[in-house]
Amino acid sequence: MLSGKQIVLIISGGIAAYKSLDLIRRLKERGARVVPVMTRGAQEFITPLSVGALSAEKVFTSLFDREDEHDVGHIRLARDHDLILIAPATADLMAKMAHGIADDLATAVLLATDTPVLVAPAMNPKMWQNPATLRNLETLKQRGLTFCGPASGEMAEKGEAGVGRMSEPLEIVAAAEALLRDTDAKAGMLPLTGKHVLITSGPTHEPIDPVRYIANRSSGKQGHALAKAAFAAGARVTLVSGPVTLPDPDNIEVHHVESAADMLQAVNASLPADIAIMAAAVADWRVTSEGKQKIKKDGSGKPPRLDLAENPDILKTIGHHPDLRPKLLIGFAAETKDLVANARAKLERKNADWIVANDVSPETGIMGGDANTIRLVSKDGVEDWPQMSKSDVAARIIARAAAALTS
């Protein structure tokens, strides 16, 4: 979501300035260009040398730099970027912003900008709770600035705790992604703006007794990547996830479920949707009667009898829904043989539009791995895609889906 975005990072003078170094790294690893502006106070805590080394950019520090201001450099900083991010934002800087003071480079940039501004405050809890700060906060919110934090916790000052800690770098990154995504959506730059995308992900666990369950090896990586890609394309995303060890994607509505029956209920409750992508590897079977206590060995050497029943077929149920079938319905086929034949049969039987087929034989490493090799099966034929990361597969599927939805 941040790939190719240009961000001006204003670092003001608080102890939380040390977090801005990690923030720069997190923004850059997501593809953003980070142009730093440091106040005089910030330079008391961290150096322009360290900031410049991490950002690989010139660090701007002075409003009266002859070289930078020969072409009104502070105006270029204010206008020629996608986002201005202030982290940390001190009480002093917030007060100057609220009252239109422009007595240094940072405040001049902020007064001259017409680009989105994201503020990550950091200060002592008493300063944050001061009526003057709260009035400034409300003023800035009314002007359209977006805030991330502050968080609650211990302060640098001994014995001080409360609300005032700067949010962690990854939280700020998520807030920047959401703000830029909303900005692009309002500008009509995202193909799925105004659309609802429903995605299932991960395995299901079908309980045998309080200790054991039937499951599969799905990690949920592909489904979660699809959810992130759909959000980046402007969609409102609902993710129904079976048990996985992955963190919930930022800015996405997530419903956690255990069994196939739970997943079907959550999917039905999330309809209608413009696009549904059933990426979860739902267990085909469940035991007919779940044991209330742990099943123990009886000494006979014989295994206990387990009577199995077929689980609800979520893709087929949605595909044949009389009223709420999505305009575009995409299923997955994880096979170990006869990949295309099985995918074509699944496409027809479940009334899907596309089937994303992949060979999950153990030697492929696809289940649980970070890469995927798929064959996209539709009524128009079969497309062979090269091996890609699951994130790249997700982006390509979402791009194709957006194009299909508008064609």
Instruction: Look up 130 and say whether it is catalytic.
Output: no
Contact between 121 and 94 under an 8 Å Cβ cutoff? The reply is yes
* Annotated catalytic residue, options 124, 130, 136, 216: 216
As a whole number of angstroms, the distance between CA 165 and CA 124 comes to 8
As a whole number of angstroms, the distance between CA 213 and CA 221 comes to 21
Instruction: Please check if 315 is assigned to a binding site.
Output: yes
Instruction: Please check if 297 is assigned to a binding site.
Output: no
Instruction: Please check if 294 is assigned to a binding site.
Output: yes
Tokens encoding 200: 């299932």
As a whole number of angstroms, the distance between CA 102 and CA 200 comes to 50
> DSSP labels for 52-86?
HHHHTSPPB--TT-TTGGGGTHHHHHHHSSSEEEE
H-run or E-run covering 107:
helix 105-112
Instruction: Please check if 292 is assigned to a binding site.
Output: no
Instruction: Please check if 284 is assigned to a binding site.
Output: yes
Q: Please count the other Cβ atoms lying within 10 Å of the Cβ belonging to residue 374.
A: 26
CA distances to 95, 154, 204, 251 from 407, rounded to whole Å, are 50, 54, 34, 28
Q: Which residues contact 403 (CB under 8 A, 6 or more apart)?
A: 191
Instruction: Please check if 350 is assigned to a binding site.
Output: yes
Instruction: Please check if 353 is assigned to a binding site.
Output: no
Binding residues: 284, 294, 312-315, 332, 346, 350
Binding residues for CTP: 284, 294, 312-315, 332, 346, 350
Catalytic residues: 216
